[in-house]
Amino acid sequence: MKTEKIAIIIADASAGFVVFLMGLQMLTFPFDIIWVAFNLMLWIALPILILWSKNKEDAKNPLLE
């Protein structure tokens, strides 16, 4: 099960990177900056926020593990 999750994460990140590069190539100047900001939020900021909030919630309720 763990290897399956790792494979899914790798495939997801690879597909996301391809979509990011395609969007960056298609868009003109002001829109490519918005595209980069959107992808930074989508692929970096939100997953970190989700992991942080899950860690904080797990610390509150140690019996859930």
Could you write out the DSSP letters of every residue in 6-49? HHHHHHHHHHHHHHHHHHHHHS-HHHHHHHHHHHHIIIIIHHHH
Residue-level pLDDT at 32: 92
CA–CA gap between residue 29 and residue 16 (Å, rounded)? 21
Nearest to residue 36, comparing CAs of 25, 52, 50, 47? 25
Q: What is the pLDDT along the chain (65 residues), one digit of tens a residue?
A: 788 888 888 888 899 899 999 999 999 999 999 999 999 999 889 888 888 888 888 888 777 65
pTM: 0.69
Which tokens in the block code for residue 37?
């900001």
